[in-house]
Amino acid sequence: MQTSFEYLSLHGHELADGTKNLVCIIVSFLFFFQFISFLNVFIVVTREQLLLVLLQVTSQVLGNKVPDKKEDTLGNRLAPALFQTLIVTWIRANLNVVITVDLWDQFVLTLSGLTVWEELIREWAVSN
């Protein structure tokens, strides 16, 4: 698992200090989210709520259209970490509990709307 600083250097963008700090905090939170997904301490309802929140955050931050000036967006800087967290967390959850058909449908619907992001395709390929 990468640290947020490693993430920023790998996905290096020249960022203003405030933006860099914001991205660093969000990426740290996403990596923490991945870490806690490996702990098997959640009841099914809690795990489902966490997955729904992650789906909602991902779709709201990225949207279903890549912006014209993608490099200037927060979503661009967070896309690799968001997709990695979403896919890793989803796989891990599926190994621990039965995910409902409705939740799977929501996952497919969300990812289908985000296929315009090449970062999703890359992360999906790495995860499979």
Q: What is the mean pLDDT of residues 98-127?
A: 91
Query: Please, which pLDDT band fits residue 10 given cuts at 50, 70 and 90?
Result: very low
pLDDT (tens digit per residue) in 11-38: 444 555 567 778 888 888 888 888 877 7
5 pLDDT above the threshold of 60: no
Residue type present at position 126: V
Distance CA 86, CA 58 (A): 8
Q: What is the residue range of 117's domain? A: 4-127
Q: Look up residue 71 and give its two tokens.
A: 């490099």
The rounded mean pLDDT for the chain is: 80
Q: Per the structure, how many domains does the chain have?
A: 1
pLDDT higher at 36 or 10: 36
Q: What is the mean pLDDT of residues 1-16?
A: 48
DSSP letters spanning 57-76: HHHHHH-SS--TTGGGSHHH
pLDDT at 48: 85
Is the pLDDT at 4 greater than 70? The verdict is no
pTM comes to 0.75
